[in-house]
């Protein structure tokens, strides 16, 4: 029997002649994926998502990566389909020597405080869940191009879905605290100091390599429902709070609804020129070193900006 994954992708490419399972064939006809269907691509995708959520055993056969590919095909996103997934979801570690070789030439672009703009579709995660209190007063700041990308993201999301941010710009002092905290955690299971630091560096940038969050080029975010005013379930958020087996964007440990919600976030972000750090589903960046490698650019555009760390956050 072909997996539902194979069938969905093959029918999207009009190659259904390889399918052998009559039951799944009937399901695909209902969903609208058979050649000649008059059902719109958007409705096909919505029906497929509902279908998978109601059939977890079948959904288990479909990975987040496969759902993402299906979403691109369903929406006819040729700008993405023409490129490898590594151009949008980076498999590279932030401290990889290849990443560190990318030069940085700050273009002087200003930082914007997202949370001072009072956009009802952009909120801090704490407004929706008190567990996500910001650890410093600059969490809403990002470079202007990142701000513009987030606004573009909103145009690719349903009108009742907003973006919940946890952290954009991060002071170096906070970066050092995060790194040391994560290193202490990893040392408990990895006694070798070199290996412990390497594992830590894959999750939290060492403070001495111009960390991407410290440049304003990165944003940690998720989605929320405007109507019900709660965070959507995309799996466990963050690595600074402790171990996280849901962290990888294409983790096999997540539920069907988490996969579907991740695809919703991924597609909107990738169409807005952001790149996802594949080890953290919530982390997106623009014009940094990882982004430059993914996009085939020669340099990154942002160094560490000069902001007053003591500036009070608006209430």
Percent above pLDDT 70 for the chain: 77
Least confident window among 87-96, 229-238, 254-263: 254-263
pLDDT at 153 (0 to 100) = 97
Q: Strand, helix or coil at 274?
A: coil
pLDDT in tens, 131-180: 999 989 999 999 999 999 999 999 999 999 999 999 999 999 999 999 99
According to DSSP, the β-strands at 230-231 and 161-167 are unpaired
Going by the DSSP 8-state scheme, the letter that residue 107 receives in this structure is: -
**Mean of the per-residue pLDDT values for the chain?**
84
DSSP line for 44-97? HHHHHHHHHHT-HHHHTTS-HHHHHHHHHHHTT-HHHHTS-GGGTEE-S-TT-H
* CA neighbor of 92 nearest in space, from 292, 282, 242: 292
Evaluate if residue 240 carries a pLDDT over 70: yes
Cβ atoms of residues 1 and 21 within 8 Å: yes
d(CA 38, CA 147): 38
- In the chain, residues under CATH classification 3.30.1380.10 are 85-300
Reported pTM: 0.81
Give 36 or 86, the one with higher predicted confidence. Answer: 86
Q: How is residue 113 annotated by DSSP? A: E
Q: 85-300, what's its fold?
A: Muramoyl-pentapeptide Carboxypeptidase; domain 2 (3.30.1380)
Cα–Cα dist 179/206, whole Å? 6
Confidence (pLDDT) at 11: 39
């Amino acid at each position: 029997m072909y997996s539902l994954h194979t069938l969905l992708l093959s029918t999207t490419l009009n190659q259904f002649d390889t399918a052998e399972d009559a039951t799944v064939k009937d399901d695909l006809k209902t969903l609208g994926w058979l050649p000649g269907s008059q059902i719109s691509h958007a409705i096909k995708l919505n029906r497929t998502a509902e279908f998978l959520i109601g059939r977890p055993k079948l959904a288990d056969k479909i990975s987040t990566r496969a759902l993402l590919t299906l979403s691109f095909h369903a929406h006819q996103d040729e700008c993405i389909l023409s490129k490898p997934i590594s151009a949008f979801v980076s498999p590279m570690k932030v401290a990889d020597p290849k990443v560190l070789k990318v030069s940085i030439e700050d273009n002087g672009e200003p930082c914007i405080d997202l949370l001072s703009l009072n956009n009802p579709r952009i909120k801090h995660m704490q407004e929706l869940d008190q567990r996500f209190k910001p650890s410093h007063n600059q969490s809403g700041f990002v470079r202007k191009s990142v701000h513009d990308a987030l606004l573009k993201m909103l145009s690719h999301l349903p009108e009742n879905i907003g973006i919940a941010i946890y952290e954009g710009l991060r002071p170096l002092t906070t970066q050092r605290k995060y790194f040391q905290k994560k290193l202490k955690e990893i040392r408990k299971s990895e006694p070798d100091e070199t290996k412990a630091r390497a594992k830590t560096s894959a999750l939290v940038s060492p403070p001495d390599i111009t960390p991407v969050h410290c440049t304003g080029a990165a944003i940690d975010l998720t989605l929320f429902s405007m109507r019900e005013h709660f965070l959507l379930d995309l799996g466990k958020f963050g690595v600074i709070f402790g171990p996280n087996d849901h962290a990888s964007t294409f983790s096999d440990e997540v539920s069907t609804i988490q996969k579907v919600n991740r695809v919703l976030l991924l597609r909107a972000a990738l169409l807005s020129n952001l790149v996802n750090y594949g080890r953290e589903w919530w982390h997106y960046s623009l014009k940094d070193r990882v982004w430059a490698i993914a996009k085939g650019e020669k340099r990154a555009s942002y160094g560490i900006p000069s902001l007053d760390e003591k500036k009070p956050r608006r209430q």
